[in-house]
Amino acid sequence: MGRYGDMMSNILCAKGIKKSFDGVHALKGVDLTINKGEIHCLAGENGCGKSTIIKIISGFYRPDEGAIEVAGKGFPVMTPTQAIKAGIQVIYQDFSVFPNLTVLENLAFNQVLANKKRLVNKKEFRKIAEEAVKKINFEVDLDALVETLPVADKQLIAISRALLDNAKLIIMDEPTTALTKKEIKRLFEIIAALKKNGVTILFVSHKLDEVFEISDSITILRNGENVISCPTSEITEEKFAYYMTGRHFDTAQTRKNMKKNIGAKMLEVKNLSAPGFENVSFELHKGEILGVIGQLGSGRTELSLALFGLLKPTDGKIIMEGKEVKLPNVNVAHKLGIALVPEDRLTEGLFLSQSIVKNITVCRMDELASSIGILSNKKSVEESDKWVKGMGVVTKNHELPVQTLSGGNQQKVVLGRWLATTPKVLILNGPTVGVDIGAKYDIHNLLRKLAEEGMAIIVVSDDAEEVIETCNRAIIMRSGYVTGEISEEALSREALALASN
């Protein structure tokens, strides 16, 4: 179904790319053709091979088979420097910044290296860097160390670095995950401006609305194979989801049709303050899903940490089932039936090199062990089996390390771990960040089902769609304060947009 443009209008043409890692076939002969000057969207579920083909185009991986042409010129062996020289710039999913170096160096390295300079010229560095940040009006201290900057700034560094002079094709691997709505808007403006200047963009995203908002054409991959390549105008949202996942979604199952089963008051937070937020109050009932919507740095993360015993409140009360509780550490929270699915699953959630079993049972060890602390292997495997099946984690063997799973499946493992503790209050911080629509759909469904069964849930998110789809109510946080609350009836995209601006 691949669609090939003629030689002249192609900026990039990759044919029959195959790549496998230690037995995993990430790409099974993928074709990708991008026309000059277009915004091309590459979509597909987690683990379908999007990042892998990008890394092959940028010369970071060598394909097992296949050929790459850039602007009609064949590259038998592509290296990162060659790619940069050919005008290909990549904004990687993980930003690819140097945390230990200054913004200045982060911005200048690529270009200086591509020009084969051997010596450091501070003035030249500064010139390149200033030029780069100016392109997107990004205000940042060029001499600051990148590790001291917030996530969004790191993303913006990666973006501005890619915009440098000779870029003909800019590849963005999920560039919007860490950005706020406002920043996304700004990014799209930049992309539009680039397009006007004749730069071609390859854009990777899971988010339907983004794809349809900006792309000219789409290539969808599934399991390392092409599914379709066509102009965006020829495809509908529904079809898009189908091509990506190979399944049809029951769109009737939304919040509006959710069975309401709101019960007794489960959790009450009164005038809670902690470093990062102040004077936050709200109530949470059994069977209710409360959305906490706020942008990066609004205090939402700190609030979730405070409710989980990881951040010491300076003031205020937490009342659970009518009794005031103190949460000095995670164990107390755990015993009280509070669970937190953390924001960053890689650093805060998973033990990447350990088995799926260990990752799922880690919070249940006390129950799975005998009174003197001996773990039952059988029980652990049963427990993990239950959750692997229940959550639909795709894996060959649950003794395999978690790092062999794709992002969505990894998130399911973290979620399964906490659900295994049968919590009364489940807090999820960005439950579907970087998760594809199939897995996202599964997770949202699961949350609704859990609420129906009487669990009290807090969804912390900056994704309005997610909050609308899953939550009964939402509170809005900004700069450490709750600035508003939206009831179920009023919960809509417009209301959220209005409230958070």
Distance CA 164, CA 172 (A): 14
Pair 320, 266: CB distance under 8 Å: yes
Cβ proximity to other proteins: between 222 and 358 the closer is 358
Cβ proximity to Mg ion: between 51 and 176 the closer is 51
Q: Does 298 engage in binding with ligand ATP (CB under 6 A)?
A: yes
Q: Does 80 engage in binding with ligand ATP (CB under 6 A)?
A: no
Q: Does 155 engage in binding with ligand ATP (CB under 6 A)?
A: no
Query: Three-class SS of residue 341?
Result: strand
- Please, what is the minimum distance in Å from the beta carbon of residue 378 to Mg ion? 36
Cβ proximity to Mg ion: between 96 and 253 the closer is 96
Distance CA 173, CA 153 (A): 16
Query: Three-class SS of residue 226?
Result: strand
Q: State the pairing for strand pair 169-173/200-204.
A: parallel
Query: What mask of x and - would describe binding to Mg ion in positions 30 to 69, judged by CB under 5 A?
Result: ---------------------x------------------
Closest CA to 42 of 276, 290, 217: 217
Element (H, E) at 230: strand 225-231
Q: Does 93 engage in binding with ligand ATP (CB under 6 A)?
A: yes
Closest CA to 255 of 44, 31, 474, 24: 474
Q: Which two tokens stand for residue 488?
A: 């179920």
Distance CA 484, CA 475 (A): 6
> Under rule CB under 5 A, how many of the chain's residues touch Mg ion?
3
Q: Which does 47 bind (CB under 5 to 8 A by kind): other proteins, ligand ATP, Mg ion, none?
A: ligand ATP
- Please, what is the minimum distance in Å from the beta carbon of residue 489 to other proteins? 31
**What residue ranges bind other proteins (CB under 8 A)?**
20, 22-23, 25, 58, 60, 80-81, 84, 90, 92, 94, 96-101, 105, 109-110, 112-114, 117-120, 143, 148, 150, 275-276, 296-298, 308, 310, 329-331, 333-334, 340, 342, 347-354, 358, 362-363, 365-366, 369, 373-375, 377, 396-399, 417, 479-480
Q: Which two tokens stand for residue 477?
A: 């946080």
Q: Does 24 engage in binding with ligand ATP (CB under 6 A)?
A: yes
Could you say which of 72, 150, 198, 390 contacts ligand ATP (CB under 6 A)?
A: 150
Q: Does 301 engage in binding with Mg ion (CB under 5 A)?
A: yes
Cβ proximity to ligand ATP: between 423 and 480 the closer is 480
The Cβ-side half-sphere exposure at 414, using a 13 Å CA radius, reads 31
Whole-number Cα distances in Å, 158 to 88, 117, 125, 177: 14, 21, 16, 13
Chain contacts with Mg ion (rule: CB under 5 A): 51, 93, 301
